[in-house]
Amino acid sequence: MPVITVEGPAISTDLKRTLVERFTKTAREVYQIQEIVVLIKENPLENIGVNGELVAERQRGA
């Protein structure tokens, strides 16, 4: 069974539900199977760096 892993910032449970539903729908269409696993890994913004800067600091304007 396919496993889809998504890593990103924290989101609400409602948004997670939407994300899981949409990934599952698309994967079922492509793979033509029903069993799809979606893993959501949330990363605090202070643990994410872009272009040499922490995202948390970029958002604070530091």
Q: What is the pLDDT at residue 58?
A: 87
Cβ atoms 40, 19 nearer than 8 A = yes
- Token pair, residue 4, equals 């889809």
Report the pLDDT averaged over residues 14-26.
Answer: 98
Write down the residue that tokens 């040499």 correspond to: 52
Q: Is there a contact between 1 and 33 (Cβ–Cβ < 8 Å)?
A: yes
Beta bridge partners of 37: 3
Give the pLDDT confidence score for residue 3 in this predicted structure.
98
pTM over 0.95: no
Q: What pLDDT, on a 0 to 100 scale, did the predictor assign at position 27? A: 98
Domain boundaries, the chain: 3-60
Work out the mean pLDDT of the chain and round it to a whole number.
Answer: 94
- When pLDDT is cut at 50, 70 and 90, the band that residue 61 belongs to is confident
- What CATH topology corresponds to 3-60? Macrophage Migration Inhibitory Factor (3.30.429)
